[in-house]
Structure 1
Amino acid sequence: MDNFIVSARKYRPQNFNTVVGQQHITTTLKNAIRNNQLAHAFLFCGPRGVGKTTCARILAKTINCTNQTAEGEACNTCNSCVSFDAGTSMNIHELDAASNNSVDDIRALVEQVRFAPQAGKYKVYIVDEVHMLSSSAFNAFLKTLEEPPPYAIFILATTEKHKILPTILSRCQIFDFKRITNNDTVEHLQEIVDKEQINAEKAALQVIAQKSEGCMRDSLSILDKIVSFTNGTVTYQNTLEHLNILDEDYFFQLLECMQKQDMAGAMLLFDQINRKGFEGDLVLNGFAEFIRNLLVCKDAKSASLLEVVEGMQPKYVQVAGQTSLSYLVSALNILNDTEVNYKMARNKRLHVELALIKLSFLQQAIDLTTDKGGVVKKKRIDGPIAFKTKLIQSLAPPTPPASAIQSSVKTLNSASQPTINAEPGNTNTSAGAKLFVAQTNPSSTEPVRGSAAPAPVGTIKTGPKKSLLEALKEKAGSNYDIEEVKEAMPLTEESLRAFWDAYIVQLEQQLKHSAVGTFRIASLEIESDIHFTVRVSAVTAQKFIESEKMVLIDQLQTQFNNRAINFTILVEEGEREDVPLHMRLNSKQKFERIAEQYPLVRELRDKLRLEIDY
């Protein structure tokens, strides 16, 4: 039985013309070889499986070829090319930096660079996965990479260019490989199946190309698996079955149920998909990609972005024409949010079903918010809103009828000069007295309000206007007590000392003897009308007064009718006081002292990951 060789190795390109999807790089390298303008260091970077190592080997083979073609390709017949194909060439050295990433490995490589090639013009050193080198290894490689011997050429390959030191990047000629397009992948797969005489549908090859995501090595590996699975016959259905991919027909049926607001049909279809072994995240991801393809088909400019199997484009265009743009955008947002929160959901099936329910009634929600194609604001109701009101009784005196106003105006026009009278029943002329101006009748010497008889019809009752306070008194009666605001008392030494002594008596009644002694020896000094200073001789005395400060200030402000009164406690310099240790330390210092005496306390905090509230 012959040894089987996978397609990725069997059909690895042997010259630049057979490299797939990297014409911008192969053309540059061929021109450099033909014009003898080779750099001493190259850096090939790009995704996996796009031809970085392959191009490095072709470059190493071509520059040592003794019979190069006019296009700058290797002849594949000379001794150098034959030895290279057989793997016996002494001028090409490959190093896997993933497993040889130490300084010693790079030093051994640098030692080999010192020896000139015995046959051929160049010694080529290919370092694959160069981003795996340590910083020390990079630094050991810098000098040799910058000024190598004229016969040495370095080709570095990596998938993560951002991990390479800038000093390395500046010494290399950088080539960025791009992902291989689906069309190029399908064409290459078609060539291989023709050579291997395999029956393969083009739709199946397109599915393989989409699954590989621009990686040619992955597409060839998938093709080998499917050929083994199907015994040499690759069809669209068995490719979907082997790759565990949902058929797009399911998504078309799902969208049709949602357009008809058939929630039950959508739920049953999801149950059918779930029974086939497809998880909810695959359904969400596949349906989101399906909606994206429909959105792409809505505009002819973006139709080139549609990447589906052959024969499905007309169906996509037809369904996209029947679906509104607002529905597609809203559905894509719902699917995206559901997929983001999928991992955090406990009941994942219910999480997906809730998204399907939203999508089933999405069109109805869009119809409610649009009117003839335009967006309208939502209203709670269309008609007027009834609300309950309560009449507030006015405090002003009642307004007389119009006839009375007219007669009173005539009386006022013919009235003599006004006289100033005091309010009846009040002979006090102090600040509490009130004055009013009354118009006198020319036929009577008595004031209008001097008589207790009711005013005749057609005349207006004149007199002092009632204040708001009096109106409130009449309205409320005796249910409320109205007190005047008391004036603030001045802060004097006598009144302050009297209050201080009274507070000391209060402390004695509360049996706070330590505080009583402190308050008695404290000296008071008034700084202003609202501030005074309490002077003590020790820190302990300051602590006692601070413990009573809140209650003391409240009683002070109440006593002197002034909420702005405050005081400061000062400790006078004197003899050094022997303050107890527990009063001098703060909370953090206390914990550190306890932890020094009892190390198990610190160990307990570290094991339980506790945070001390200082």
Structure 2
Amino acid sequence: MDNFIVSARKYRPQTFNTVVGQSHITTTLKNAIKNKQLAHAFLFCGPRGVGKTTCARILAKTINCENMQADGEACNVCDSCTSFNDGASLNIHELDAASNNSVDDIRTLTEQVRFSPQAGKYKVYIIDEVHMLSASAFNAFLKTLEEPPPYAIFILATTEKHKILPTILSRCQIFDFKRITPNDTVEHLQEICDKEKITSDKAALQVIAQKSEGCMRDALSILDKIVSFTNGELSYKNTLEHLNILDADYYFKLIEAMLDQDLATTLLLYDDINRKGFEGDLVLNGFAEFVRNLLVCRDEKIAGLLEVVDSFKDRYVATAQKVSPAWLISALNILNEAEINYKGARNKKLHAELTLIKLTYLSQAVELVNEAGVIKKKATDAVKPVAFKNIRPAIAEQSPAAGTAAALKKNQQAMDAKLIIESSLVEEEETPYSRKAAQPVTQSGKPVTGTAVAEISATTTPTLGALSKIRKQIAQKQTQANNTTLSLTGENLKEAWSRYIDKLVEQKNHSAVTNFKLAQLRITDNHSFEIVVESNIQQKFIEQERGTLIEHLQSFYNNRSLSYAIHIAEATDSGTPQERPLSSREQYLKMIEQYPMVKELKERLKLELDY
């Protein structure tokens, strides 16, 4: 049985023209070879599986080709090319820096550089994963990399350019490889399927291209696995099953049920998905990507960002027109939060179901928010300006015509009556509704009759009642305050103090009770007094009760201006000596003075006292 070779190795490009998706780099290298403007050091950087090492090998083979083509490609016929294709070329040296990253490995490499090639023009040194070299290895490589022999060319390849020392970067010609687009990946996979006589659907190839995320090596590996799994039949259904990808048709059914707020259908669909072996985080992640694609479909400017199977594009666009952007953005926030918290949830299935329940009733929540915004706007629009009191305008004296004299006189009487009523509004002290309203009169003393009286009484009666009611309440409060204020005396102060101590006893605050009983009270004026204490500790206990104490005293005296201050009394010297405890030595001396035999006992036993 022939040895099986994976597609990534079997169909590795052998010329620059067969490299997929890196035309900006292959064109530059071919022109440099044709014009004989090769640099002595190259740095190929970019994502994994995009052709860095492949381009390095093609470059090494091409510059040593004996019959180079006019377009800068190798002939693949000469001895140098055939030995290279067979892996027997002595002019190419590959070093894996991931496992050979020490200073000794770099020194061994630099020692080999001294020897010129036995055949061909150049010796090419390819160092893969160069970012794995240690700092000392980089420093040992600097001099050789800066001034190599004319026949030596170094090609460094890495996926993490930011980890390489700037001194290395400045000595290399840098080429940035980009991810391979899905269209280029699909075309390359289709060519391989045609060569291998594999029956394939374009939708299946598009799913593989999306799953590989721009990495051609991953795409070829996935292709090999699916072909082995399906025995040469590459279909859309088999591809989804093998890659453990949920069919987009489920997502379309889910969003239709959510828009209809059909919770039963939503939960049944998720149960069907769960029975097929799809985990909750996979469903949440896939549905978030689905919602993102719907949001992209709504704008033609960013429709190019939609990376889905061609057969589903029209369905995406039709569904996106049914959903509002507010719903889509809110759904993305909910799904993102649910995916972040999924690992910490104990019941994974319940966590995913709660997220789907939120999305099912999300339309109702969005409508409520919109309605609340409209109501708030209407309430703001309905606010009326403050009605200020009308001021009587000044009327210039003039000689009216005979036909309008009666009308002007009638208006003047109405304005006079209104002015008198407004004046009475300011001067009125008490106007209960039960009192009979006086008939308005003009400045000349004549009563006002007709529509003017009705208008004035209708507009002023409620205002008079409300104003008089407020004035009456204020007057009552002032009278009560003046009548019930208790003057500050020594007897009632002791009574108020003892009442507060009783409250502390009820609260079982015995420490505060003791310090309050020891305090002395001294009145300073009619609205303040002093609390005299003996120590800082006593002061702190009283300070802790300051808020409730001052409220108790002010309510007792009905005086909001009542205040107090705390003073610490200075200790007075009474003149009597205070006893202090004796030290150990003093106790011993006093003991032997009273009992001399104790000293003799100590000396005979040769005891040492600890004092």
Q: CA deviation at 1:4?
A: 0.6
Partner of 2:413: none
Q: Secondary structure at the match of 1:30?
A: helix
Larger deviation, residues 262-271 vs 141-150 = 141-150
Partner of 1:270: 270
Alignment of 1:377-456 (within 5 A): 377=375, 399=430
Q: Is 1:182 paired with 2:169?
A: no
Q: Is 1:88 paired with 2:88?
A: yes
1:483 counterpart letter in structure 2: L
CA contact (8 A) 1:553 1:566 kept: no
- Cα gap change, 1:553 to 1:364, in 2 (>3 Å): closer
Out of 353, 359, 376, the residue aligned to residue 374 of structure 2 is 376
Cα deviations by residue, 1:431-486 (Å, 9 ceiling, x for unpaired):
xxxxxxxxxxxxxxxxxxxxxxxxxxxxxxxxxxx998874253x4xxx744279x
Partner of 2:135: 135
What is the distance in 1 between the residues matched to 2:479 and 2:23? 100
What is the distance in 1 between the residues matched to 2:152 and 2:59? 13
1:183 counterpart letter in structure 2: N
Alignment of 1:49-68 (within 5 A): 49-68=49-68
Partner of 2:163: 163
Q: CA deviation at 1:333?
A: 1.6
CA contact (8 A) 2:41 2:153 kept: yes
Out of 530, 551, 554, the residue aligned to residue 538 of structure 2 is 551
Q: CA deviation at 1:552?
A: 6.4
What is the distance in 2 between the residues matched to 1:220 and 1:555? 84
Q: Secondary structure at the match of 2:153?
A: strand
- Cα gap change, 1:131 to 1:483, in 2 (>3 Å): same
Q: CA deviation at 1:367?
A: 2.3
- Cα gap change, 1:481 to 1:257, in 2 (>3 Å): same
CA contact (8 A) 1:45 1:176 kept: yes
What is the distance in 1 between the residues matched to 2:58 and 2:570? 88
What is the distance in 2 between the residues matched to 1:568 and 1:161? 78
Q: Is 1:350 paired with 2:355?
A: no
Q: Secondary structure at the match of 1:370?
A: helix
Partner of 2:110: 110
- Cα gap change, 1:562 to 1:154, in 2 (>3 Å): same
What is the distance in 2 between the residues matched to 1:550 and 1:277? 71
Q: Is 1:483 paired with 2:481?
A: no
Q: CA deviation at 1:292?
A: 1.0
What is the distance in 2 between the residues matched to 1:555 and 1:302? 72
What is the distance in 2 between the residues matched to 1:154 and 1:280? 49
- Cα gap change, 1:200 to 1:554, in 2 (>3 Å): closer
Q: CA deviation at 1:167?
A: 1.2
What is the distance in 1 between the residues matched to 2:303 and 2:539? 82
Q: CA deviation at 1:301?
A: 1.3
What is the distance in 2 between the residues matched to 1:555 and 1:288? 63
Q: CA deviation at 1:142?
A: 1.1
CA contact (8 A) 2:212 2:218 kept: yes
Alignment of 1:253-264 (within 5 A): 253-264=253-264
TM-score relative to the length of structure 2: 0.65
What is the distance in 1 between the residues matched to 2:12 and 2:67? 22
Q: CA deviation at 1:270?
A: 0.3
Q: Is 1:290 paired with 2:290?
A: yes
What is the distance in 1 between the residues matched to 2:185 and 2:542? 90
CA contact (8 A) 1:61 1:81 kept: yes
What is the distance in 2 between the residues matched to 1:75 and 1:471? 115
What is the distance in 2 between the residues matched to 1:229 and 1:378? 61
What is the distance in 2 between the residues matched to 1:249 and 1:279? 17
Partner of 1:153: 153
What is the distance in 2 between the residues matched to 1:482 and 1:85? 114
1:208 counterpart letter in structure 2: I
Q: Secondary structure at the match of 1:47?
A: coil
What is the distance in 2 between the residues matched to 1:179 and 1:360? 38
Q: CA deviation at 1:163?
A: 1.1
CA contact (8 A) 1:369 1:378 kept: no
Partner of 1:606: none
Q: CA deviation at 1:563?
A: 3.9
- Cα gap change, 1:139 to 1:481, in 2 (>3 Å): same
What is the distance in 2 between the residues matched to 1:338 and 1:401? 66
Partner of 1:451: none
Cα deviations by residue, 1:271-330 (Å, 9 ceiling, x for unpaired):
110111100110011111111111111111111111111211111111112222222222
- Cα gap change, 1:275 to 1:563, in 2 (>3 Å): same
Q: Is 1:97 paired with 2:106?
A: no
Partner of 1:323: 323
1:25 counterpart letter in structure 2: I
2:481 counterpart letter in structure 1: L
Partner of 2:227: 227
Cα deviations by residue, 1:521-550 (Å, 9 ceiling, x for unpaired):
xxxxxxxxx9xxxxxxxxxxxxxx9xx533
What is the distance in 2 between the residues matched to 1:100 and 1:484? 97
Q: CA deviation at 1:251?
A: 0.4
Q: CA deviation at 1:370?
A: 3.0
CA contact (8 A) 1:553 1:565 kept: no
Q: CA deviation at 1:219?
A: 0.5
Alignment coverage as a number of residue pairs: 433
- Cα gap change, 1:126 to 1:481, in 2 (>3 Å): same
CA contact (8 A) 2:327 2:363 kept: yes
What is the distance in 2 between the residues matched to 1:554 and 1:260? 67
CA contact (8 A) 1:369 1:377 kept: no
CA contact (8 A) 2:43 2:155 kept: yes
What is the distance in 2 between the residues matched to 1:208 and 1:313? 17
Q: Secondary structure at the match of 1:66?
A: coil
Partner of 1:42: 42
Q: CA deviation at 1:250?
A: 0.4
Cα deviations by residue, 1:538-571 (Å, 9 ceiling, x for unpaired):
xxxxxxx9xx53336889999xx984867999xx
What is the distance in 1 between the residues matched to 2:487 and 2:264? 72
CA contact (8 A) 1:198 1:233 kept: yes
Q: Is 1:3 paired with 2:10?
A: no
Name structure 1 gaps, 5 residues minimum. 385-397, 407-465, 486-509, 511-529, 531-544, 570-614
Partner of 2:200: 200
Q: Secondary structure at the match of 1:376?
A: helix
Partner of 2:456: none
Partner of 1:367: 367
- Cα gap change, 1:122 to 1:255, in 2 (>3 Å): same
2:488 counterpart letter in structure 1: E
Q: CA deviation at 1:377?
A: 4.9
What is the distance in 2 between the residues matched to 1:57 and 1:565? 93
- Cα gap change, 1:292 to 1:564, in 2 (>3 Å): same
What is the distance in 1 between the residues matched to 2:353 and 2:38? 60
What is the distance in 1 between the residues matched to 2:319 and 2:26? 42
CA contact (8 A) 2:42 2:156 kept: yes
Q: Secondary structure at the match of 1:44?
A: strand
What is the distance in 2 between the residues matched to 1:400 and 1:254? 71
Q: CA deviation at 1:214?
A: 0.6
2:317 counterpart letter in structure 1: V
CA contact (8 A) 2:536 2:568 kept: no
CA contact (8 A) 1:101 1:133 kept: yes
- Cα gap change, 1:555 to 1:242, in 2 (>3 Å): closer
Name structure 2 gaps, 5 residues minimum. 383-428, 439-474, 491-513, 515-529, 550-562, 572-611
What is the distance in 2 between the residues matched to 1:308 and 1:234? 18
Q: What CA RMSD, in Å, does the superposition of the two structures yield over aligned residues?
A: 3.6
